[in-house]
Structure 1
Amino acid sequence: MQAAETARVAIVTGGAGGLGFPIAERLAAKGHRVAIWDIDAGRAEQAAARLPNARGYKVDVTDAAAVAAATEKVVADLGPLGILVTCAGHNGPLAPFAEYPAEGWRFVMALNLDAVFHCCQAAVREMLKTGYGRIVNLASIAGKEGNPNAVAYSASKAGVIGLTKSIGKELATTPIVVNCVTPAAIETEMLNQLTPEFKAFVTAKIPMGRLGRAEEVAALVGWLASEECSFSTGAVFDVSGGRATY
């Protein structure tokens, strides 16, 4: 019979909605104490109120100092940090490359890549103290293939994949494992940022012929964040309905 998993403290960035909340929900159901981070304090607190043993925190994940302070606060409030899942992100503008706005590029890079660096660094510093850690970064199939008219999103998610591989290899001889998930288009509120034409374009690229469901991503993340995931690190796990070719 499988032993019960040890209850840990988990931070889920962007945990108030999108893919973040279903992931936070799954972790809470497994007995973990979940810190939900969101730029909107009200959303974070409302989401946390729907889960057992959860607390909401207003955090600007693009601000390294804010991330460090919030990480310390979570540890003080809930206990030693065991799990980090980085879900905060944005599609950014959809525009031809020749016309892509520089401010859109900077916004997407700050939220989708710089923030993951800040959160992983703060988490690793805590996890090295306690000798245990599971980090799961949400990347995208766009980071492998590149989506036309979405240069910042594609590049930022490719960066998350590279960041994950680098940290995973560096920490491979420690009890901290670092992996990322590369979903294809998933039915979430983030998809509403896309035009109907772009939504149809990404759906047409999925061999299963449908969008993914948030709970399907959450199930994989739940395993990657568990003690059972002990020999995978610096790895990329697809949830793409057959779209991924490598």
Structure 2
Amino acid sequence: MDSLDPRTRPVRKVFTTRAGGVSPSPYDSFNLGDHVGDDPDHVAANRARLAGIIGLDPSRVVYMEQIHSNTVTVIDQPPTDGGPIEATDALVTTQRELALAVLVADCVPVLLSDTDAGVIAAVHAGRMGARNGIMKKTVETMVGLGATPINIHALMGAAASGKHYEVPEQMARDVEAKLPGSLTRTTKGTTGLDIRAGLLRQLLALGVQMIDSDPRCTIEDEDFFSYRRQGTTGRQAGVIWLPEVV
């Protein structure tokens, strides 16, 4: 069978970088965020390009109005108005050829799948969402739809690393109390947060053992958008979907 046959690749997970789009500086160039001040026509062109690359109609790629919450939303179809799913930071679906997208510029994008159960999720795990249990709630929601933690694969994308994510000590200790394993020290010797490390420990505690993580730091790697490095900037995406079985 062909290596792209859905029977050999039952789920697709991709992450974008900042390269390959049409947006000018400071959103150069593959900005997918429509809430950061970029020209809406440029964002629409970039989103259409992404959809074309992954082989789906743009209307089948669903985005979120991310608010750093711990709200999880189950969907079975795209919004009829073509807009984002309102006020949520995780999307879960069992529908095929419905792509779930998470936008980030330092926060952790997490793509989850249980292909045996046919359940997938895209999670925006920023500091507050991760602290307040967005990952735990997403896994629990997937289990409610038939997933089993031991069968869930988690893929974490590039994000702010602990060696550069500097925060006040009180803030770091508050996050550590809710997300153990996230407290760290930066290369400057100051208090920092490693959200991916905390999420890794939490996923393991939830019974999720198949975990992969891109180690790259968005703050130091200029291939990625970084709010901490740039302030005004674009957003890259993590996208997950179940292809149609042929």
Same fold (TM over 0.5): no
TM-score band w.r.t. shorter chain: 0.3 to 0.5
TM-score by length of 1: 0.34
Task: Looking at secondary structure, tell me which structure has more strand per residue.
Answer: 2
